[in-house]
Structures are given as C-alpha cells and as structure tokens.
Chains A and B, each alone.
Chain A
Amino acid sequence: MEILHNLWQRRGRVSLTLLGIVIGVFALVVMGAMAERVNIMLTGATRFLADRIVIGERGGGGLFGSGTLPAGLASDIRQVPGVALVESAVALMLKDDQNFSFGMPDILEGVNVEEVARLSTKAAGPSDFKFAQGGWWQPQEHLKAVVGADIAREYGLRLGSALESRGKTFTVVGILQRMMTGPDKMAFVPIADARAILRDSHPVFRALDVDSLVGSLYAIPALGHNPDQVAQAIQERLPANKVYSPSEARKQIAGFSAVFNLVILGSTMVALLVGGLSIMNTMVVSVSERVREIGLKKALGAGDNDILKEFLLESLVIGLVGGLMGLLAGGILVVSVNHFTAPGGTTIFTVTPRLALGSLGFSALLGVGAGMVPALRAARLDPIEALRDR
C-alpha cells in the first residue's frame, strides 16, 4: 500500500515512465507475435521436412524454390536403397489474381494420389497428412481436391463444395487437419489436372511436354533408415541435382528463423531500453526526494538491505504495471488485425503463452535492473546526513 501511495503521489511523473515501458512492451508483444507466428510455421516446416528429402535443381531456389524437374527422376530415386516412396508435385498459384499477402500464398498442388496415400503405410512420420474430414480421391479420378485447413476456412469449403481455380472446378473430397505449415494453404488435386492448367497457362508450356515435368520431388526414407544417409545416396546418384537432407533443411530453416528473430526482437530491445532508462530516471528522482524518509527508516532500524528491497520493489511494480498495460495494448492490436486478415486466410500474429509471460517477466526484470543503481544509492545513505536533509 505504501508503494502504491508513493506512486500515486508522483502520478504525473510515474505515468510518463509507465508510457515508456508500455510502448516498449507493446512493440515486444506485436513484433514478438509476428516472430512467433513465423516460428510456428517454420517449426511446422521443419516437422514436415523431418522425414522428407527434397530434390531440387542445382542453382535453383533452394529448399522452397520450385523449378522444373524431369518426372523420370522419380524412378531413378526409387531405386536408391532406403527410399520408401517418391512424391512428385506440380505447384501453381491457386488463383490467377492472387494479391500479395504476408506469408505463403494459396497453392494448387498437383500430386500423384497413389504416392501420397501410401505415406501413412511407409513413413508414418509426423508429416503425415491427417484428415479432419473425408480422404484422398481414387487414382483415376479427376477434378477432385483435398484442401488444407486455411484454404477451407478462407473459401468456406465443406465436403462436396466446389473450388474454382484457374478456370477449373474441383470438388472437395477431403479437408486436412491443421498442420501449422505449408499444406494448410494448399489445395491438392490430381497431378494430371495441374499439368493441364500449367499447359494452358502460357504458350511456352504448350511447347513443352509438361507431362514429363514436375515442380518438386520428395523422397520419403523407409523406416529404420537414416534419412541423411539416404539423402547422401540420392545425391551420389543424381550429381546434377541438389539434394537436401532433413538435417540440412533443418539448418536452413533454423538459420532463417534466427535471422528473422534477431531482426524483429533486436528492434524491440531498443524501445525497451528507453523504457528502462525512464524507470531509472524516475527512481533517481524518487530517492533524492525521499532522503529524509530513508534516514528516518534507518534510525528506526531499517538495514541497508531493507531500504534496497523497498526501492527495488517500487521499480519492479512500475515495470510490471507497464508490462501489463503494454501486453494488453499489444494483445488488442494483434487480435484486431488477425480478426480482419484471418478470413482472407492469413494469420499474421500469434501470442503464445511464452511470449505473454516472457514480456511480463522481461518488464519486471527491466524494472528491477533499472532501479538497482538508485536503490543501492538509497541503501548506502548515511542516516545522519539523510536526517539532516530538508
């Protein structure tokens, strides 16, 4: 109560100090929520690629870049010991007029259903496609679609719904559970339908034999085989291609994640530093205004540690209150923006418990850290000199 009364007595100055912390924590929460969203998607990507070996073009777009690969490579890869099956895919934008959006765009992915449906029998890994409703289409069927969770929500799809894409109408036969990675924003269709769309999309593709091309190739290692070793074997068999083992994929993703987090969070530290300096300034002034009070308390039996604790508690309260307000303000913004963007299939922010507790913890720590120097000064005051202060 004494602390609250002291803060209330100086409410003008304390409010400005709080504002500094609020802004800092607000920035931390908003930027952190963006980083957490990316982290979750990257974690999902890591999980998705945990048992997938990516075969790409040498000098191509890296792990996520799609190019054009000969479809015949799939049979070469199947012959490598330790390869359980090979997924071939042709990826296109779901809509012709796709606008720029944060994160991955909506993808129409043509797949060989015989390959993907065998995943659960051969790999049984965390990257399995799990269905919320329905299942895969039959091998000879056309114009069927299995959609990811974000696609289903964005276009209001249920089983039996029609999905219009690139001039064709697909019937939804399966809706996947949320995977927190790429497939959430994908509509899977028969590879022949995707190739037909590709052929019709540009004159250059009419000149190519698109049936002999794929956009991406994934090799699934058989259970009991070391995926990195299988990847090495594939690389040796296909020296002209670039093969990414799961551990290499993990490293690339981790590297991107680290850089992203560094940039995002580093910038918020600047804002928080300003808030911390603000607390320090307020506490320095508070100590100098209460010198006599400190002398009195020491005369009454307060030790140096008692005085130190009292002032640290005060700066901790300032940090925590500012942190709570910043968390609330950041949370409101995040929820509001997500509310507007989610129907369009894009979720930009995720406030995780780690982020919320971390923000509060950090602001409390900032309060204590910033208050340490003035609190030490208060604790070390000579009681007689302090009692003489007017």
Chain B
Amino acid sequence: MVEALDVHKVYRTGQRPFPALRGVTFTLQPGEFVSVMGRSGSGKSTLLHILGCLDRPTSGQVRLGGMEVSRLPARELPALRRSKIGFVFQHHNLLPSLTALGNVMLPLRYSRISTREAQNRALALLEEVGLADRAGHRPAELSGGEQQRVALARALVNEPELLLADEPTGELDSQTARHIVGVMRRLNRSRGQTFLLVTHDPTVGEAADRVVEMLDGRIVGPKAAVQGGERPAHGLEP
C-alpha cells in the first residue's frame, strides 16, 4: 500500500516560494493501476518524485508498505529506491553504452547481486515484454516502443512494490502507445505490483483502474475508470 498524508512541497528558488503540492492525501491499494492526470504545473511530477523518494515533502507523510519514508536520511533513500520502487521515464530512458540486457540489469548492479543471477532475472523480464531476442541490441538499434518495453523490464527487475512512470507514452505514436499501455496492464495483472502513471495521454487513462486529477498542487477529484466502471474510485480526499 502507498499512502500520502497531507503532503506539501514548497520550492524556495528565486524570490518567492512556490507551492508545488498543497496538502495531497490519497492511498494506492496493492496491485492498483492508477493514472494521475492534469495540466503542466499541476504538481503531478512533483508528486511522483516524492512517492519515488527522489525528493522529500516539506511537510506531511509518505508511507510505502507501512513504512514512513518521508523523513528518512538522504543516504538511505537509494537503498529504498532499489528495493521498493521502479521508474519509467518519458525519454532518454536507456543508457546508450549498454545493450538492452545491460540496461535491464543496471538496477541490480547497485543491489550487489551476482552477475549470473542478474542476467537470469533480466532475461526473464525481457522475455515477459517480448524482447528476449533483442537482448544484445543497443538502444540505438531499438524502436521507441521497444526502448520503452526495455525500460519497463528494467523498472521491474528489482521486484519493486511500486512502479512509477512519468509520461511513459509521451514520445510514442498512438499505436505504439496503446501497445505499451497494454504491456503495462498485463504486467500489472500478472505480477500484482502497484502502477502509478503520470500522463497527459487519454489512452493511459482509459486503461487505468482509476484516474486522479490534479490542479494547482491539489487533487481536485477522482475520475471514474472509463473501462466499463469496473472498479469504483475510492480512498480519495479532496
């Protein structure tokens, strides 16, 4: 379970402080597939960074799997990210100097797992995303969709509790974007990990269990899932 409790984030750059988040409270249940939508400047990416332990809230609490993470010392955050969180970014996701296999293995380098074990895990995930035969190719030799699938495999290789994606389909054409979302949805169902996607893309919204809408640093309301209303919106406070 992922919980945000009255989270505020104020950036103090320049003359005036800028409140990026203004008391965000919500809960993600294990295995949910949730998208966060809103205009630029609504605070979506800030929320993602805080949930991903890349940044800390100015006030409020964040819990991952029951553990309060928002006040952890900075030196403990990398280990937390390694064990509990996976990231997929919009662009420049992969290291050009590594093959697809090397990119998927990358998080395991910092987990001190043996190379053989890391290789086995990485290959298994490439298999799951349908790219086992491209393991030896460098990113420059992969299409945009293939690169995002490799990024997805990398995000899952550490068996995280939470996968965070920041505009994962932002640079893809619509057909490829739908394909990627389909892969993510399938992985979410088969592996049971919680997925939170920040996006402008309605394709992603359509696939989500629920959509959270943000405006000016606040959650302004849930949107009901468009997929036949299978799961009701719940656990939200404006």
Q: Residues of A with Cβ closer than 8 Å to B?
A: 1-2, 5-6, 9, 292-293, 296-304, 306, 383-384, 387
Contact = CB atoms under 8 A, between A and B. Distances in A.
A6 B138 CA distance: 13
A299 B83 CA distance: 12
A300 B106 contact: yes
Nearest to B95: A293
A300 B110 contact: yes
A303 B79 contact: yes
Contact of B49 (A9, A300, A384): A384
In the A-B complex, the 3 residue pairs with the closest CB atoms: A301-B82, A303-B78, A5-B97
B107 A296 contact: no
A299 B54 contact: yes
A86 to B, nearest CB: 73
Interface in B53-87: 54-55, 75, 78-79, 81-83, 87
A2 B168 CA distance: 26
Contacts, number: 59
Contact of B78 (A1, A302, A387): A302
B111 A301 contact: yes
A292 B82 CA distance: 18
A316 to B, nearest CB: 17
B185 to A, nearest CB: 23
B158 A2 contact: no
A301 B79 contact: yes
Contacts of A2: 95, 97-98, 102
A299 B110 contact: no
Contacts of A297: 106, 110
A293 B103 CA distance: 12
A111 to B, nearest CB: 70
A382 to B, nearest CB: 9
A387 B89 contact: yes
Nearest to B84: A301
B87 A300 contact: yes
Contacts of B116: none
Contact of B92 (A5, A292, A300, A384): A292
B103 to A, nearest CB: 10
B210 interface: no
Contacts of A299: 52, 54, 81, 87, 89
B134 to A, nearest CB: 18
15 contacts: A1-B102, A2-B98, A296-B93, A297-B110, A300-B110, A300-B154, A301-B78, A301-B83, A301-B111, A302-B78, A302-B109, A303-B79, A383-B54, A387-B54, A387-B89
Contact of B158 (A5, A9, A301, A302): A301
A270 to B, nearest CB: 35
Given A301-B110, A301-B158, A296 B92 contact: yes
B75 A384 contact: no
B54 A384 contact: yes
Interface of B: 49, 52, 54-55, 75, 78-79, 81-83, 87, 89, 92-93, 95-98, 102, 106-107, 109-111, 154, 158
B60 to A, nearest CB: 18
A298 B102 contact: no
Query: Which secondary structure dominates chain A's binding surface?
Result: helix
B75 A303 contact: yes
A301 B92 CA distance: 17
B97 A300 contact: no
Given A2-B95, A293-B95, A302 B110 contact: yes
Contacts of B87: 299-300
Contacts of A306: 78, 109-110
Given A300-B82, A300-B154, A306-B109, 7 more contacts: A2-B95, A5-B97, A293-B95, A299-B54, A301-B111, A302-B78, A306-B110
A389 B102 CA distance: 23
A302 B107 CA distance: 8
A298 B83 CA distance: 13
A300 B107 contact: yes
B148 to A, nearest CB: 14
A384 B78 contact: no
A11 to B, nearest CB: 13
Contacts of A303: 75, 78-79, 110
A298 B87 CA distance: 11
Contacts of B49: 384
Contacts of A6: 97
Nearest to A301: B82
A292 B90 CA distance: 13
Nearest to B81: A301
B78 A298 contact: yes
A302 B110 CA distance: 6
A293 B139 CA distance: 14
Contacts of B54: 298-299, 383-384, 387
B212 to A, nearest CB: 21
Contacts of A387: 54, 89
Nearest to A386: B54
Nearest to A297: B106
A307 to B, nearest CB: 10
B80 to A, nearest CB: 8
A296 B89 contact: yes
Contacts of A293: 95
Nearest to B96: A9
B57 to A, nearest CB: 13
Nearest to B155: A300
A301 B107 contact: yes
Nearest to A3: B97
Contacts of A292: 92
Contacts of A301: 78-79, 81-83, 107, 110-111, 158
B89 A300 contact: no
